[in-house]
Amino acid sequence: MQFPTSPPPHVVAPNTVGRVMRIVIYALLPTIVAHVLFFGPGLLVQSALAVATALAAEALALRLRGKPLAFYLGDGTAIVTALLLALCLPPLAPWWLVVSGTAFAILLAKHAFGGVGMNLFNPAMVGYAVLLVSFPAQLLSWLPPHALDIQTAELSFAQTAATIFTGRLPEALAWDAITSPTPLDALKTNLALGMTMQEALANPLFGGLGGRGWEWVNLATLIGGIALLMLRIIRWHIPVAMLGSLALCATIMYAVDPGTYPGPLFHLTSGASLLGAFFIATDPVSAATSDRGRLIYASGIGVLTYIIRTWGGYPDGVAFAVLLMNFAVPLIDRYTIPRIYGHAERP
Amino acid sequence: MQTAVRARGGLRLEAHKERSTRDPIATAAPPAHAVLTLDQHAGERAVPIVAVGERVALGQPIARPSTLVSAWLHAPIAGEVVAIEPRPAANHGGAPALSIVIANDGSDARHRERAIEDFTALAPAELRQWIGRAGIVGLGGAGFPTVAKLASAAEREHLALLINGAECEPYISCDEMLMRERADEVVLGARILMHALEARECVIALEDNAPQAQQAMQAALTRAGDERLRLTQVAAIYPAGGERQLIAAVFGKEVPHDGLPRDIGVLCHNVATAAAVARWVARGEPLVSRIVTITGAGVAHARNLDVRIGTPIAQLIEECGGYTPRITRLLMGGTMMGAALATDEAAVIKTTNCIVAASARDLEPRQPEMPCIRCGNCAEVCPAFLLPQQLHLNAQALDLAGLERYGLMDCIECGCCDYVCPSQIPLVERFRQAKPHLAAHLRARAAAQAARQRYESRIARLQRLEAEQRQRLEEKRRLARRKDS
């Protein structure tokens, strides 16, 4: 009897990039739910716009590059990029912001470099950075969390969508009345105005740990992140090193002057710390690839995040920190090759 | 017994040994025609010492080793040599290779060899030489001539002998069944090898998922009453039975990348190799048969058979009730490192440990390949601590310097990286394709270096000679001047 042949191994695990990305998307659900609970349905509109734009941009790029459409569109990588970018944007940001940011992320940050697996920089963070540099005012005006009762009226889904698409609020609402800075932004501004830490934190924007509402969104992110760790989609090195170095910087500076510098818990539960540690810095394509390399890479992100937040021109620094460390990845990879079995030293 | 030891890296895989270990080892009928490929061991091809038409007895030598790294072949049946010609060979995936074909006369008339009652009466060197006559090769799968391995370590003192019973690849169960049913043979073989090597200790390693084999071996060790031998369990994590991985797990030290186990005072032999040594020394039986696992959903009755070398695989399948309708592929060895056979006409060779008659469900078909996303799953499972993701990148570009830096030559081709890759990249295949390029590059560089060294030492030698000559001349002139004055 004759049989077909093929090289070994003859079995492989039924694991695919598509499966990995699907799990990442599911792990983002707690964050999305918490976000919607505290900041209204704006995120849902932003996510839908981002995903639609990402898929359209991906399809266009694949077409131009002569790649099989269905195969690559199904890998889910563009959807993850879109969701991460949407999570970074204010819920009522105008539609053209998320559309242009996502298109930039997919077309330039991803496909101009060669598509999936080839991008040197985290596409979602490239998209976000471009928007932040180009339209800082729009990106920094957030809705206050619902828990604060500042809003005169909660916007319905229809009103939210209408606001995003027309750029005009419903009658009787003014932008100034319903938007507020993020907690990180407020803290930075108030400290700059000469307030003490106690005075600054007395603002109703702040909760028990960090920014009110934000702390819950961050805890939801932590749940999703731990799920990723347990399902072995990500390894511990990047989240632990990033959060650890961020907390270490915060602890040192808090010990030096608690009146000027907030403590580690505030930093860990504010802004994009946890989203960055579990979902953004862990993008394997743009991260360092050995265990030691990942520790160095993520420690750098933590330190840079702290520096930008504390002394830089932007209230949060995760996006720039990630992109700066993306630059360093080829160098880190070159110097962190592990020792090989039977060799005395590392190559 | 202490808890199971383990080496770094590797994978927990489903063992798939239940079906083939249900029944005891059965003896397969001798084949009507035995086909013996001349290059069925590592090293150089054996040279026939019989002619077509000659009658041979069971156990009679029919081919001799051509070099030091080669092996004897013996007739596995009694009968007549009917051909010496290319035949489908299992070690070539079923492609033809020069073979000796013997027609069975059904008599099983034996070629008598002496049996040694007390192996300790022989000097170690004499014993090693005697073992070399049996045509024994590494039966774990590598097929390296045992006598060459013994010779390589013969000069070392304080050797530890490692007997490898860690049968880590899925589906293969011949070593487990051997230890369950013929534990005394294994222990005797280990003691003979210890004497041949003047080894100070012997560790027999087996996986922690084979309790019956462990009990049988423990009992055999107690019967032997030799304090120098002990049993160790290793965690059933593929590739626990890889020589270098097993040594790291058992002895806690690594084999140098450019060296051999003997360099760290260890010599490793498979349990079946040890048993074959025992049969030869104690009973005068050369290597003419071995235990083969026949399994997979493509065969009716999975089990282990004691098989004459040279038996066509198709006949073994018949003995196991034939193929089931689900048969799709035929593998020799396990599913991780085994070779796919194009035909079941190929015959069992000395290293045939397992035949997997695989159904579509036994083998997980590969999904279409995606680009690498650098997830690092591969690096986590690599037992050689390599970064397969970086090797892949360098292999794609055929960047030889990069391949060398990332240790391509240290890849043992176990397939763990392939197994876990979410992008479904055939990494091992790529690495195998890249290896010859890097090997040629390294050889060329070594040759260039040697040439440069030769040139430089020649220049240095000439300069030295010239300087000496000048010095002598100077000396003469000085003497002449002194005389003049």
Does one domain contain both A49 and A170?
Answer: yes
Position A202 pLDDT exceeds 80: no
Same domain for A210 and A170: no
User: Do A168 and A200 share a domain, yes or no?
Assistant: no
The model's pTM is 0.89
> Is residue A8 a part of any domain in this protein?
no
Please check the confidence at residue B267 and state whether its pLDDT lies above 80.
yes
**Cβ contact A290:A338 at 8 Å:** yes
pLDDT at B4 over 90: no
Which residue segment(s) compose the domain that B254 sits in?
19-289
Residue A12 forms contact with B (CB below 8 Å): yes
Q: Is A346 on the interface with B (CB under 8 A)?
A: no
State ipTM.
0.90
Q: Return the structure tokens found at B405.
A: 């830096």
CA distance B464 to B447: 25
Distance of residue A80 Cα from the nearest chain B Cα, in angstroms: 14
> Domain ends where: A141, A163, A179?
A179
Q: How far is B142 from chain A (nearest CA, A)?
A: 16
Residue with tokens 């074959």: B276
Chain segment B97-155, per-residue pLDDT in tens: 999 999 999 999 999 888 998 999 999 999 999 999 999 999 988 899 999 999 988 87
Lowest pLDDT segment from A229-243, B289-303, B320-334, B361-375:
B361-375
Q: What is the CATH number of the domain that holds B150?
A: 3.40.50.11540
A34 with A134, same domain: the answer is yes
Q: Is residue A112 part of a domain?
A: yes
Predicted confidence at residue B362, as pLDDT, reads 87
Interface test with B, best of A2, A5, A12 (most B CBs within 10 A): A12
| Number of domains observed in the structure of chain A | 2
Three-state helix/strand/coil letters over A38-65: HHCCHHHHHHHHHHHHHHHHHHHHHHHH
For the beta carbon of residue B482, count every other beta carbon within 10 angstroms: 8
Question: Which tens digit of pLDDT belongs to each residue from B9-56?
Answer: 999 999 999 999 999 999 999 999 999 999 999 999 999 999 999 999
Which structure tokens are listed for A164? 């995003």
Full domain range(s) for residue A253: 183-334
* Interface probe with A: pick from B172, B375, B381, most Cβ of A within 10 Å: B375
Tokens encoding A121: 């920089």
Search chain B and give the residue with CA nearest A12. Answer: B419
Amino acid symbol at B216: A
Given a cut of 90, whether residue A18 has pLDDT beyond it is: yes
When mean pLDDT is compared across A16-25, A238-247, A263-272, B409-418, the lowest value belongs to A263-272
A208 and A188 in a common domain: yes
| Average pLDDT of the segment spanning B311-318 | 96
Task: Give the H or E element holding residue B230.
Answer: strand B229-234
Domain end (from A148, A179, A210): A179
Do A206 and A151 fall into the same domain?
A: no
The answer to whether residue B180 is domain-embedded is yes
Same domain, A138 and A211: no
Nearest in space to B302 (alpha carbons), one of B7, B9, B2, B21: B21
When pLDDT is cut at 50, 70 and 90, the band that residue A210 belongs to is low
- On chain B, the residues whose CB falls within 8 A of the CB of A77 are 373
B168 lies in some domain: yes
**Domain annotation covers residue A5:** no
CA distance to partner chain A, nearest, from residue B383 (Å): 8
Report the alpha-carbon angle A161-A164-A166, nearest 5: 100
Q: What contacts B121, CB < 8 A, 6 or more positions away?
A: none
- Percent over 70 (pLDDT), chain B: 100
Per-residue pLDDT at B110:
92
Q: Of B24, B9, B2, B28, nearest to B387 (Cα)?
A: B9
Whether residue A190 sits in one domain with residue A163: no
B190 pLDDT more than 60: yes
Assess contact for B9 and B380: CB atoms under 8 A. yes
User: Is pLDDT above 50 for A152?
Assistant: no
In a domain, B113, yes or no: yes
Considering chain B, what is the average pLDDT of its residues? 94
A347 belongs to a structural domain: no
Judge if A127 and A195 occupy the same domain. Answer: no
- Residue B329 is given by DSSP the state E
Q: Would you say residue B415 lies in a domain?
A: no
Which string of DSSP letters, residue by residue, matches A129-168?
HHHHHH-HHHHH-BPPPGGG---SSPPPHHHHHHHHHHS-
What percent of chain A has pLDDT above 90?
61
Per-residue DSSP letter, A13: -
**Side-chain-side CA neighbours of residue A263 (13 Å):** 8
Can you give the pLDDT at residue B3? 79
- A187 shares its domain with A163: no
Q: Is B198 left (phi over 0), alpha (psi -120 to 50) or beta?
A: left
Q: Report the residue from A1, A20, A342 with minimal CB separation from B255.
A: A342
Q: Is residue A345 part of a domain?
A: no
Q: Can you give the length of chain B in residues?
A: 485
How many residues would you count in chain A?
347
- Torsions phi, psi for A264 (to 5 deg): -65, -40
- Residue pair B101/B54 in contact (Cβ under 8 Å)? The answer is no
Which candidate from B336, B372, B390 shows the least CB-CB separation from A8? B336
**Cα–Cα distance for residue pair B105/A137, rounded to 1 Å:** 96
Among the listed residues A78, A79, A82, the one whose alpha carbon sits nearest the alpha carbon of residue A101: A82
> Three-class SS of residue B66?
coil
pLDDT tens-digit profile of B162-180?
999 999 899 999 999 999 9
Neighbours of A66 (CB within 10 A): 6
C-alpha to C-alpha distance for B20 and B304, rounded to whole angstroms: 6
Tell me the β-bridge partners of B99: B37, B85
Is the model's pLDDT at A148 over the cut of 90?
A: no
Query: Looking at the 3D structure of chain B, how many domains does it have?
Result: 1
Strand order in the sheet with B266-270: B229-234, B201-207, B160-165, B266-270
Residue B205 lies in a domain: yes
Instruction: List CB contacts (< 8 A) between A116 and chain B.
Output: 370-371, 373
Residue B33 lies in a domain: yes
Q: What's the angle, vertex CA B410, arms to CA B418 and CA B139, rounded to 5?
A: 80
Q: Kindly state whether residue A203 falls inside one of the protein's structural domains.
A: yes
Q: Are the C-beta atoms of residues B79 and B102 closer than 8 Å to each other?
A: yes
% of chain A surpassing 70 pLDDT? 90
Per-residue DSSP letter, B90: G
For the cut 70, the answer to whether the pLDDT of residue A187 exceeds it is yes
Cβ of A257: how many Cβ atoms within 10 Å?
9
Asked if residue A7 belongs to a domain, the reply is: no
Q: Does A16 touch chain B (CB under 8 A)?
A: yes
Report residue B295 as tokens.
């399994």
Contacting residues of B for A14, CB less than 8 Å apart? 364
Residue B6 falls within a domain, yes or no? no
Three-class SS state of A94: coil
Output phi, psi for A226, to 5 deg. Answer: -65, -35
Residue B251 has pLDDT above 70, yes or no: yes
Residues A124 and A153 in one domain: yes
Contact residues, chain A, for B405 at CB < 8 Å: 337, 347
The residue whose two tokens read 């592990």 is A338
Closest Cα partner for B174 from B393, B298, B351?
B351
| Whether residue A18 is found in the same domain as residue A151 | yes
Distance (Å) of CA A162 to CA A121, B6, B81: 33, 62, 91
Q: Is residue B89 part of a domain?
A: yes
Contact A1 B368 (CB under 8 A): no
- Quickly state the pLDDT bin for A177 (edges 50, 70, 90): low
What is the 3-class SS of B347-369, one letter each residue?
Answer: ECCCCCCEEEEEECCCCCCCCCC
Percent of all residues in chain B with a pLDDT value above 90, rounded to a whole number: 91
Judge if the upstream peptide bond of residue A9 is cis by omega within 30 degrees of 0: yes
**pLDDT confidence tier of residue A345, bands split at 50, 70 and 90:** confident
Confidence of residue A204 (pLDDT cuts 50, 70, 90): low
On chain A, the residues whose CB falls within 8 A of the CB of B244 are 341-342
Chain A: closest CA distance from residue B389 (Å): 8
pLDDT band of B435, cuts 50, 70, 90: very high
Phi, psi (degrees; rounded to nearest 5) at A236: -70, -25
Pick from A48-52, A186-190, A277-281, B301-305: least confident? A186-190
